[in-house]
Amino acid sequence: MIKKAIKAFSNLLSAILFSIIILTTLTVMISKASSGEPNLFGYQLKTVLSGSMEPSIQTGSVIAVKPVEDHKGFQKGDIITFINEDDLLITHRVIEVKSSGNQLSYITKGDNNDGADRDPVLPQNVKAEYTGFTVPYAGYFLNWINSKIGSALLLIIPGLLLITYSIFAIRKALSGIDRKNKNHISEQRSS
């Protein structure tokens, strides 16, 4: 009974380790293939690097944003992701929509900032809209995965665990075979 439980636990542990290796490999491959920007069901996952949107969005969170086709359909209160003049992606709230003739622009502000952003956002610079989905602190992990060390360790550590476990299982199986052989030899000598 105990041997069956140990064997079942051993098989379960092997399956879990193998699943971890497959999952981490896929995570790293998808992340690298999408230039470090994971996509899930048409949504982009972005890491929040500053506290400008706190308390709505915490630093280090992962947020889901939906890439936009209509760059002109935003209203006051919407949270958008845009490229600023330094080619940085920023996610801030629209606090005013300005229209001057044919020219449309958005005045944005981080919820935690004292004042509005310095430059208005042009519609063509808006890349996505925040969906309201946030995973707190997961951004630290995603950034680590995208680093060279993180990618390597996510592939190496589960592999080493599986190899270590395999060595342990093989040694245990070999010692079981040795015991059976010794018992068989002892039985033959005594007969």
- Residues catalogued as catalytic: 50
Report in angstroms the alpha-carbon separations of 70 from 3, 45, 73, 111, 187: 63, 20, 6, 24, 84
Q: Measure the CA angle with vertex 135, ends 22 and 73; round to 5°.
A: 115
Cβ count near 80 (within 10 Å) = 23
Q: What are phi and psi of 63, to 5 degrees?
A: -120, 150
Residues in contact with 19: Cβ distance below 8 Å, sequence separation at least 6, in sequence order: none
